[in-house]
Amino acid sequence: MVKFYYKIAAIFLSVIVLTGCSEWLTLEPENDLIKDEYWKNKGDIEATLAGGYSALSQNVSYLLLWGELRGDLLYLTLKTPLDYKRMMTNIITNNSSMVSWSGIYKVINYANHVIENAPNVRDADPSFTETEYGYRIAEAHFLRSLAYFYLVRVFRDVPLVLEPSESDKQDFFITKSDELTVLDQIVSDLESVKDGAAIEYSTVAYTKGRATKGAINALLADIYLYRGSVKKGKGLDGNPDFQEAVSACGRVRELSYSLLPQASWFTLYYPGNSAESIYELQFNKDLGQTNSNLARFSYELNFELAASPDMESFYIGNIGDIRGIGGTYYPTSQGYNEVWKYTGTAITSSSTSNRRAKDRNDNNFIIYRLADVYLMEAEARLLINPTDTEAQLLIQSIKERASTTPASWNLDLSELLTERSRELAFEGKRWFDLLRYARRSEEGKQMVLEILLSSVSASDRPFFESKYQDINCYYLPIHIDELNRNPNLVQNPFYAY
């Protein structure tokens, strides 16, 4: 058995050295690691991080659908799965496939293994330099923090697990921590490692597919913006967090990312890994790494979801907006709007030209890009000062990149939210944007309320209008299997019936 685990570590080290980036992202260490035998050299750290990245990529459908299904940009088709349909119409039950968090906790467990064991590996392996150690610890904290940030925005209060699962003697019946406790933890973690993170790696795919200074600061900005909004909604002072969000965005903008010119905007999605991209999940069909996004959105394949019939209204008045028809979406012969970001290879003027091959189901998935950072910074600035001139310039740069002549617009948070929907549609952002607005203001709550009520019949509206005043309805229930496994878990209040 001892020889077996040494062999596993050696195999992972040799494979990491000899394979390309995309293959690296699919590797996973064996389950039930024997701690004293496995954690001997930096290759063991690399292998475990690889498992964390792979686990995150395996959850790409959740990352996308959690951020879009409950918003107002997606539309049902004849092939929409029942669990998607129920989530879109707010008939959400605790046995739905959409309320499973187990895959995200798998990411957290990989990260916890690295965070706990990397210091000992550094002491044991002379080739594991302080610089490399800083890179790997930063990557592990990024993975764990990103995973928890999704969990907090989807489930609100969640178990905060900071140690790896290593033996049957551990307490697996952990209670939930409140959202601010979790947010405070991941902010503290990221702040502690951000300066030691890599700026770039040896290949573009590594630089875009692994945690870097840019990725960590983009995530920090996102968390600060959300935490400040939660605090503001609770009657607390959110401005210090908004100022920290501005600072984190500034650190990203100091790096070598750049907004793509209008002519190459679509290269964000095909082939991906553009100069604007900060962090995206990597896929490569030739190496067996695929996802469901092409089939999910292609009218030639599963066509489970379409773009809203109202997509055109988002771009009206913007002359030559590259993000409109032919860019973000395109009408099909069936009368639906197809989500073109996942089905095309370039801007199109027809539903058949510039189309991805039916078997090319390896779209990368962008989690952060520079345009998103610009708009996050603008939002934070406007929350501090509603007339901030830098916020105006940031929003204007996004508008003018996309359109030869943008429509007239007002410098306010409502317009900023609309601009985010134009720019970041179907990138897993819309519901989380609405949630952030709803948590900090009555105007935001009303906006979300109208979206939630849009699927309710007129006769039922008074009942549901009262029911949806409860902000707990913004969050999903804990899956019944998790409740059965852990007697110390309490169901989210909105679903405790």
Residue 279 lies in a domain: no
Residue 303 lies in a domain: no
Report the 10 Å Cβ neighbour count for 345.
17
Phi then psi dihedrals of residue 226, to 5 deg: -70, -45
Residue position matching structure tokens 């959690």? 66
Ranges of beta strands (E only) in 373-485 are: none
Which token pair is 263? 């002519």
Instruction: Answer yes or no: are the C-beta atoms of 405 and 411 closer than 8 Å.
Output: no
* Domain at 402, CATH number: 1.25.40.390
Round to whole Å and give the CA distance between 470 and 464.
10
According to the model, what pLDDT value does residue 31 have?
A: 47
| pLDDT tens digit sequence for 384-415 | 999 999 999 999 999 999 999 999 999 999 99
Domain carrying residue 119:
2-264+368-495
Round to whole Å and give the CA distance between 50 and 57.
11
Give alpha helix (H) positions in 59-129. 60-66, 82-88, 102-124
| pLDDT tens digit sequence for 345-357 | 999 999 999 999 9
| pLDDT tens digit sequence for 32-45 | 445 667 899 999 99
Handedness of CA 196, 200, 203, 209 (dihedral sign): positive
Which token pair is 16? 């990491």
Residue 128 lies in a domain: yes
Instruction: Answer yes or no: are the C-beta atoms of 171 and 185 closer than 8 Å.
Output: no
According to the model, what pLDDT value does residue 11 have?
A: 34
Largest CA distance in the chain: 71
Residue 130 lies in a domain: yes
Side chain identity, residue 416: L
According to the model, what pLDDT value does residue 466 have?
A: 86
Q: What pTM value is reported for the model?
A: 0.93
How many separate domains does the chain show? 1
Instruction: Answer yes or no: are the C-beta atoms of 16 and 43 closer than 8 Å.
Output: yes
Q: What angle do CA 436, 279, 320 make, to 5 degrees?
A: 75
Residue 338 β-bridge partners: 330
Residue 347 lies in a domain: no
SS3 content of the chain, % helix, strand, coil (to 5): 55, 5, 40
Residue 327 lies in a domain: no
Residue 8 lies in a domain: yes
Kindly report which listed range (66-80, 135-149, 169-183, 414-428) carries the lowest average pLDDT score: 169-183
Side chain identity, residue 51: G
| pLDDT tens digit sequence for 260-315 | 999 999 999 999 999 999 999 999 999 999 999 999 999 999 999 999 999 999 99
Residue 324 lies in a domain: no
